[in-house]
Amino acid sequence: MKVAKFGGSSVKDAVAMNRCADLICAEEALSVVVVSATKNTTNELELIAGTAKEGLVSESLGLVDLLEKRHCEICSDIEDLPENKAYLGEILKEARVLVKEIAQKKDYSKEDMDSLYCLGERMSSFLFSKLLQSKTKKKVILKDARRFIKTDSTFCAAVAQVDQIKSAVEKELIPDLASDTIIVTQGFIGTDEKGRNTTLGREGSDYSATLIGEAIGANEVQIWTDVAGVATFDPRLIDNTRFIGELSYEEASTLALLGAKVLYPKTLFPAKRKNIPVFVGSTLDPKAGGTRIHGNCERKVGPRGLSFLKNSEGNLLSLVGTELGTLDLPYKKVGESPVSQSFLVEDEKLDEALSELHKLVLSHY
């Protein structure tokens, strides 16, 4: 069994969703598909809340209307049925109620935001399930992740309750897992013990996928995004980056914790617990390969990647790899772990340091 997660840019419209559906149809062993909200939806929901907080009810409701219009346009491109658009409208009724409540109290809580956030994933997963059913002979079942992703009550940054998730998955998902069935569900969202909406933190859909993979005993979790794997550094900030063929769990999670953007930092914890390989690839170019993260990665001398994090102390550059050795570098070392060494770099030296440290990384490929 395999779990596949598709990010917001990969399901941003009907064309993008079709690419994802084609990938799923070509992969016989995929059992569960985890879907993020369509691109920019989470940001739009935050804007809706912020506008309502200012008492601008009509403007906020207008933004809800635009969000509904955009999703209905995707719906028209997939399956232009009135009942499907009506379903989207029912979901967004919840947003309109929240807008009025927020405007009345001129504020919103993190609990309010989690109730808003979950609407994006619910709409995208509904649309994607309809598209996927039109392209496969398998039975597609849409499941509400809030019924089995159980968390504590830390709204907007909820802590997954692994034992409760396992019990809920055994009840809600496992009876429907079969070779002729694909389950579609949402990333990012869950519920606490009182049934209140929670989220795992921004970009937490990757984490949802590995939590589900752990609970069903998957033999692989795939993270599909708009880049072909984990790069040696952020290609938006520096030239000549390359994608890394394989990483250990420790290397990949450390890169994420220290600033790499491709993976949500907690993603690899469930995978490591059950030794489940995680593949990161691009829906835009699935044949380009990707990064395989697993527990039997060959130990290689030297840094495997570079990460960047700006914090209160300044610019933190971190070299990550299992065999770093002693590095004689002209920068202030401020941290070290078995798989990383971190340096604090002044603003005026940042570009030079990025270039030099990335050259060091590339010299080991």
Q: Where are the domains of the chain?
A: 2-226, 305-362
- Tokens 């609970």 -> residue: 215
CB atoms within 10 A of CB 13: 15
pLDDT tens, position by position, 60-105: 999 999 999 999 999 999 988 999 999 999 999 999 999 999 999 9
CA atoms within 13 A on the CB side of 149: 29
User: If pLDDT is split at 50, 70 and 90, which confidence band does 237 have?
Assistant: confident
CA dihedral 84, 90, 91, 95 (to 10 degrees): 140
Residues 6+ apart with CB under 8 A from 50: none
pLDDT-derived band at 6, boundaries 50, 70, 90: very high
User: What is the residue-averaged pLDDT of the chain?
Assistant: 95
Q: Does residue 5 carry a pLDDT above 80?
A: yes
Confidence tier at 293 by pLDDT (50, 70, 90): very high
Per-residue pLDDT tens over the stretch 329-353? 888 989 899 999 999 999 999 999 9
| CA distances from residue 102 to 65, 115, 201, 253 in whole angstroms, order as listed | 17, 12, 21, 37
Q: Is the pLDDT of residue 222 over 90?
A: yes
Please identify, in words, the CATH class of the domain defined by 2-226.
alpha beta
